């Protein structure tokens, strides 16, 4: 049993072959943290790891002999106000105005497996032997309220998941103002904080900062996890690299406003908290009501950043994503967005689809502009019925025509939004999030539907259900092209308005649940102006996400590199688009555009009819190549080798789990004049195996040890022959039997 409770020492030890996490019940009844890191041998008491002492200006947590000084004690789910002056994990306002709480240990329950935390998405197990869980119930006697802390440790992965459920039993009303999913207190501050930040078209850039006394944080108060900050933090030792050293990753399974915060105290301990952002949240609990926080996933590695990422990849690909498409190879698609935008006819769409079929595309996707009176951003959103002027045979007829060509059919929707110039808004102007008598802020000329209201979700489900049921749809791209402003529900009472932001996300999850349950074989791809809602909560419903609206191959290297810190390659929507690129006007080689997009859910986003015959032949070869190796790419082990944030070149590799095969890629940004020699050292291979290595249409044999430690020389002249700037090369490696 990988969770042990030592009765005599009142300690819990969560461990597997890779990690240990140790909790104590302290003298005052609260929970303390003794250790988190590489596995240590179990013993009846780890009390020697407890450190606290009275210091100047410190306040004691109890009378003698209990003389805990909480300000300097590592705790498990702390609160502010009784001697700990750091930010706590929970703040609860009571009827008398007090926010002081005192959650003490009451009981615990250890069990095999992992329970669901509906209505929220979360990781799961397929059999009870995969993981062990513990629920530790804390109790505040004054409020008559329980806080149930749940931990799950996976048997084969260096993963611990955590969440909290508040159960209020008292007669007096309480109000949750802060309810973090977890807190982790660490004994020192010798870490760099790595996070993924950016903006539209440059999402999830890798940022690193040294921890110092005070607060370091990432956040969203936008109603979505956002392009600005991804709900992920890693703390890595200063000497940690991709392949060596210690790192801890913290990822929130949530799609709404969040806070990830790291606090270093005056004596250099480090506190990590993560959860729903408290500045957009207030949740009233009446007697016998409860509140469930989202899940936080913790991953530990002492073998560098790659090992941390690979653990996240395995967990999120196989135990967060679900259903029909979880383990299936993703179809190669062509999306018409950058080919036509909203200006198209049925004839034009079928002409583009026919050419796509000729080169081997498997799925045609019709993007924005097919519904209502939709010819630009100003109108039509919310009217989910087909525009018969553009598509006389409707979606039903078009989808059947595409299938007759020999491809599957997919469609774009944006079900959370509405234009004021729409039939839906004219019928229900009160269905948007807005404040009476206040300006209603537009973004992209659209407004956000109030998904905290069941009748709104019901209405949208009804329209989409009718359209889907009448057609042959196997893929849906679900977009969200703005953030939330004026977060106010016209039907919620004043004291319930603090619930609306979270209830909105629950409404989104509800609609996803209904559609995925009714249409389990449809492949959903999440999108939010590209990657503005690329988070684990979405992956639970949609196993892939459109990575970014920026389709430029050179920029995508940074975006996909950062995304790979947490998310599996199979989840990264990546397309080849036209040049000059529509976002940057940059021209990159067709080969490089494919070499970048190969490392994701691959597709095209252009009008193939506009390519030359030579380019079409390249596209056919690209599609044949990807079909041959997509299972390896989508389900193999991904390694980052060279960072686009560190220099002129990027490299990565994906290897089969048994190390029998691999594909490596090298990309250079600018061509260099009279440059030095170039040699690429690979990783993830078997030292003793002999590999056939194919690149530049030439094959040689090398041992794994040579490839990893001596490296492969790359001829710069061959990169120059590709055009020099933005050139790339793929290496296919196959072990010789």
The closest alpha carbon to 636, from 665, 658, 603, belongs to: 658
Contacts of 125 (CB under 8 A, 6+ apart): 113, 114, 131, 154, 319
CA torsion sign for 642, 533, 526, 130 is positive
Q: Which of 441, 161, 191 is nearest to 297 (CA)?
A: 161
Residue 549 catalytic? yes
- Whether residue 368 lies in the annotated active site: no
Query: What radius of gyration, in Å, describes the C-alpha atoms of the chain?
Result: 27
Cβ(59)–Cβ(105) below 8 Å: no
* Architecture of the domain delimited by 3-319: Distorted Sandwich (2.70)
| pLDDT (0 to 100) of residue 399 | 98
The SS3 of residue 642 is: strand
- Stretches where the chain sits below pLDDT 50 are none
Give the single-character DSSP code of 611: S
Q: What is the pLDDT of residue 64?
A: 58
The closest alpha carbon to 73, from 89, 65, 85, belongs to 85
Task: Give residue for tokens 């799925």.
Answer: 363
Q: What angle do CA 44, 50, 56 make, to 5 degrees?
A: 160
Q: Annotated catalytic residue: which of 52, 185, 302, 549? A: 549
The pLDDT value recorded for residue 443 is 96
% of the chain exceeding 90 in pLDDT: 95
Please tell me which residue in 84, 479, 535, 607 is annotated as part of the active site. 479
Can you tell me whether residue 556 is helix, strand or coil? helix
For 19, 163, 540, 554, the CA distances from 253, given in Å and listed in that order, are 21, 10, 9, 30
CA distance 596 to 603: 11
Is the omega angle on the peptide bond into residue 65 within 30 degrees of 0, that is, cis? yes
Of 573, 89, 623, 164, residue with least CA distance to 356: 623
Using DSSP, state whether 353 is helix, strand or coil.
helix
Domain boundary assignment for the chain: 3-319, 333-416+457-479+525-635, 642-735
- CATH homologous superfamily for the domain 642-735: Golgi alpha-mannosidase II (2.60.40.1180)
704's enclosing H/E stretch is: helix 704-705
CB atoms within 10 A of CB 13: 22
Give 513's contacts (C-beta < 8 A, 6+ positions apart). 119, 541
pLDDT of residue 209: 97
Contacts of 466 by beta carbon, 8 Å cutoff, 6+ apart: none
Three-class secondary structure of residue 733 per DSSP: strand
Superfamily of domain 333-416+457-479+525-635: Aldolase class I (3.20.20.70)
**What is the pLDDT at residue 282?**
98
């Amino acid at each position: 049993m990988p969770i042990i409770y030592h009765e005599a020492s009142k300690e819990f030890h969560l461990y597997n072959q890779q990690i240990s996490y140790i909790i104590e019940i302290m003298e005052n009844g609260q929970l303390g943290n003794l250790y988190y890191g590489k596995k240590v041998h179990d013993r009846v008491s780890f009390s020697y790891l407890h450190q606290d002492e009275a210091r100047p200006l410190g306040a004691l947590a109890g009378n003698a002999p209990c003389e805990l000084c909480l300000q300097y004690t590592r705790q498990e789910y702390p609160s502010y106000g009784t001697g700990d002056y750091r930010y706590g994990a929970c703040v609860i306002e009571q009827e008398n105005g007090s926010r002081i709480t005192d959650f003490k240990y009451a009981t615990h329950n250890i069990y095999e497996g992992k329970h669901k935390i509906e209505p929220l998405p979360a990781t799961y197990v397929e059999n009870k032997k995969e993981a062990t869980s513990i629920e530790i119930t804390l109790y505040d006697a004054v409020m008559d309220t329980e806080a149930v802390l749940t931990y799950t440790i996976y048997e084969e992965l260096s993963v611990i998941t955590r969440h909290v459920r508040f159960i209020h039993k008292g007669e007096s009303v309480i109000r949750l103002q802060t309810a973090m999913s977890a807190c982790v207190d660490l004994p020192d501050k010798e870490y760099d904080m790595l996070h993924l930040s950016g903006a539209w078209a440059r999402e999830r850039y890798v940022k690193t900062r040294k921890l110092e006394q005070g607060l370091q944080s990432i956040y969203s108060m936008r109603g979505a996890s956002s392009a600005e900050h991804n709900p992920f933090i890693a703390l890595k030792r200063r000497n940690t690299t991709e392949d060596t050293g210690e790192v801890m990753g913290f990822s929130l399974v949530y799609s709404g406003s969040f806070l990830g915060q790291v606090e270093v105290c005056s004596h250099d301990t480090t506190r990590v908290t993560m959860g729903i952002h408290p500045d957009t949240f207030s949740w009233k609990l009446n007697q016998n009501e409860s509140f469930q926080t989202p899940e936080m996933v913790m991953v530990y590695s002492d073998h560098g950043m790659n090992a941390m990422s690979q653990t996240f990849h395995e967990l999120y690909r196989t135990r967060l994503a679900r259903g029909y498409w979880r383990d299936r190879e993703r179809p190669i698609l062509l999306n018409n967005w950058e080919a036509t935008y909203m200006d198209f006819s049925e004839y034009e769409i079928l002409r583009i689809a026919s050419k796509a079929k000729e080169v081997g595309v498997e799925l045609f996707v019709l993007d924005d502009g097919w519904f209502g009176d939709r010819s630009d951003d100003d109108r039509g959103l919310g009217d989910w019925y087909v525009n018969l002027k553009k598509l006389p045979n409707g979606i039903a007829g078009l989808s059947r025509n595409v299938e007759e060509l020999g491809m599957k059919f997919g469609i774009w929707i944006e079900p959370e939004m509405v234009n004021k110039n729409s039939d839906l808004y004219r019928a229900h102007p009160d269905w948007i999030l807005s404040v009476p008598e206040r300006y209603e802020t537009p973004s992209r000329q659209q407004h956000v539907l109030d998904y905290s209201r069941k009748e709104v979700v019901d209405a949208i489900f009804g329209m989409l259900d009718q359209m889907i049921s009448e057609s042959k749809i196997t893929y849906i791209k679900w977009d969200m092209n703005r953030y939330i402003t004026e977060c106010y529900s016209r039907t919620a009472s004043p004291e319930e308005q603090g619930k609306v932001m979270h209830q909105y996300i629950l409404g989104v999850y509800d609609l996803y649940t209904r559609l995925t349950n009714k249409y389990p074989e449809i492949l959903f791809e999440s999108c939010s102006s590209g990657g503005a809602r690329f988070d684990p909560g979405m992956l639970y419903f949609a196993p892939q996400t459109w990575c970014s609206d920026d389709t430029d191959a050179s920029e995508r290297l940074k975006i996909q590199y950062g995304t790979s810190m947490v998310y599996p390659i199979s989840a990264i929507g990546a397309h080849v688009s036209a040049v000059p690129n529509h976002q940057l006007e940059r021209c990159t080689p067709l080969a490089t555009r494919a070499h970048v997009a190969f490392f994701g859910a691959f597709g095209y986003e252009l009008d193939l009819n506009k390519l030359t015959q030579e380019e079409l032949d390249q596209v056919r070869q690209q599609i044949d190549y990807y079909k041959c190796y997509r299972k390896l790419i989508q389900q193999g082990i991904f390694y980052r080798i060279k960072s686009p944030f560190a220099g002129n070149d990027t490299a990565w590799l994906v290897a089969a789990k048994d190390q029998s095969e691999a594909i490596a890629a090298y990309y250079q940004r600018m061509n260099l004049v009279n440059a030095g020699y170039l040699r690429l050292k690979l990783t993830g291979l078997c030292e003793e195996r002999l590999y056939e290595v194919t690149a530049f249409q030439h094959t040689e044999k090398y041992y794994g040890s040579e490839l990893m430690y001596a490296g492969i020389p790359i001829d710069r002249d061959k990169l120059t022959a590709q055009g020099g700037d933005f050139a790339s090369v793929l290496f296919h490696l196959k072990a010789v039997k």
